[in-house]
Structures are given as C-alpha cells and as structure tokens.
Structure 1
Amino acid sequence: MLRILSAFAIGLVFGVGILLSGMADPAKVLNFFDIFGTWDPSLIFVMGGALIVTGIGYRLVFRMPAPVLSTVFHVPTRKDIDMKLVGGSAIFGIGWGLSGFCPGGLVPAMGLGVSEPILTAAAILAGMITLRVVAGIRVRQSAPSST
C-alpha cells in the first residue's frame, strides 16, 4: 500500500510541476521548438532544473544500499544503440514536434477537459498497437514453418 501511495504522490507532484511549468500547453512547447519564429526559450529553464534535480537525486540515491520501497535498484543494463532505439526516438520527437505533447505533459493535460490530449493519447495508443501487430507478423513470417 505504501508503494501505491508513494507512486500516487510522486505522480501528483510531477503532474502539478508539468502544469505549472507550461509543458502541458502544446502552444508553449511548439513555440519552444520554433527557433526562427515565435521562439519561447522558457522551457530551457524547466528542463535544466529537471536535469539538476535528477543529477543530484541520482547521486544521493545510488549511495544507498537499496531503494526505500524495493530490495534492488532496477537500472537498465543495455548500452547499445540499435535501429529500434533510433527509430523510436525519431518517431517520439516527430510526434512531440507535431502535437506539442510528450507523454509527461500529455497525461496531466488529459485532465484539463479539452480534446487535443485525448486525441494525441489515442494516436499514441494506435501507434503502439500497430507496432505490436507488425512485430508479431514479422516474427511469424521469420519463424521456420512446421510443414
């Protein structure tokens, strides 16, 4: 129960921070990307602040023998860069640039009562389902036939 409450509290703080910083407003995000037009550099401070807090947090947390609510740290072990990573990153960036929503800003924006974040979430979900279907078809096609 403590893990659920802590996850809720962390998500709530994150969501409020996203809303207060303006990252849930697609116009503000798109203006950040519009360097040669209506550029709004204010999100640099939001991202810079997040990097500073994350850097300090990681240094403090990894000095502990184990996380507070788990027995081990769950840290990614893969360090290679493959086409799935590059392609996924490109699709993420294109989607963010077109819609003005990244998943971090999208989830809190869905509670604002407007349709754009819900449509964006539906498009992301459709893309994820399409990827799974295509990947499943590719796996079946590459499997040796039993006949």
Structure 2
Amino acid sequence: MGIITSFLVGLIFGLGLLISGMVFPEKVLGFLDIKGQWDPSLALVMLGAVLVGFISFKYTRQRVKSFLGFDMKIPTTNLINARLILGSLIFGIGWGIAGLCPGPALVNLGFGEMKAIAFVIAMVVGMGIFEFKLKT
C-alpha cells in the first residue's frame, strides 16, 4: 500500500509541477528576474504550496503516525544557524543559475533533459558529500 500511495503522491506532485510550469527553467528564471521580464505567475504556485504546507504541518504536529501508519518524522528544532543559512544560500544560487530545484529536476530527468541529468548528478554528489561529512 505504501508504494502505491508514494507513487500516486509523486505522480500528483509531478503533474502539479508540469501544470504550473515549474519544470521549465526559463519560467523559473523569468520569475527570478525581477528587474527584467518578470513573470509573477509562480508566486501564486508558491503561495499555494506554502498554504498547503502550513496547514499540513499544523495538523501533523498533533500526530505520531501517518494516515498509512508510518512514524511521523517532523523536525523538532527551530534553530537557525550559519550552516542552515549557508545551505539556503547555496540552494538559492543553484536554483537561480540552473532554473531547477530537486523536484522539477527529477521530473525533467524523466524527459531525458541533459541539464536535468547534470543537475541530478551534482545533487547526488552533494548529498553524498554531506553524508560523508556527517559520518566523519
């Protein structure tokens, strides 16, 4: 049941990215280009995502198990430190350069986009470095 549900949630997420245009780097870069040909349409997508996330986290904080019976793994800290800020900056710079973030990159990977392949390889290497540093 968990695999089917995960597949359906991923499918809905991917379709949402496609419909909103977030899988198209030029659309994302148009949104980030506030001094040029700014495209504000993704602001509504982000607002919708923040609203859904806010309601979901508010509700799930009261639960210890998910609807499918899995343990809830919600962050318990509100600590903002240099590591979090640096990671956010690197994420934002990468998003601005590539016009992709992990979700849209995985959708584009399914289409065989070369830019997405390079992005995902770099993302996996970065995650590997993080895990290696964490263990040492």
TM over 0.5: yes
Alpha-carbon distance in 2 for matches of 1:51, 1:132: 28
Structure 1 stretch displaced more, 124-133 or 33-42: 124-133
Q: Which residue of 2 aligns with 1:83?
A: 82
C-alpha distance 65-83 of structure 1, shift in aligned 2 (>3 A): closer
Q: Which residue of 1 aligns with 2:92?
A: 93
- Please, which runs of 5 or more residues in structure 1 have no aligned partner? 140-147
How does the TM-score come out when normalised to structure 2?
Answer: 0.86
Structural mapping, 1:1-147, within 5 Å: 2-62=1-61, 66-70=65-69, 72-132=71-131, 135=133, 139=136
Q: Provide the identity percentage.
A: 40
SS of the equivalent of 2:93 reads helix
Residues 77-120 of structure 1: CA deviation (Å, up to 9, x unaligned):
12211222111111111100100001121111111232111111
User: What count of residue pairs does the alignment treat as equivalent?
Assistant: 136
The one-letter amino acid of 2:73's match is H
Q: Displacement, 1:60?
A: 4.6
RMSD of aligned alpha carbons: 2.3
Structure 1 stretch displaced more, 93-102 or 110-119: 110-119
* Greater Rg by CA: 1
Contact 2:63 2:72 in 1 (8 A): no
Q: Displacement, 1:56?
A: 3.3
SS of the equivalent of 2:103 reads helix
Contact 2:61 2:74 in 1 (8 A): no
C-alpha distance 61-35 of structure 1, shift in aligned 2 (>3 A): same
The one-letter amino acid of 1:99's match is A
SS of the equivalent of 1:24 reads coil
Alpha-carbon distance in 2 for matches of 1:112, 1:126: 21
| Greater relative CO, 1 or 2 (CA 8 Å, sep 6+) | 1
SS of the equivalent of 2:72 reads coil
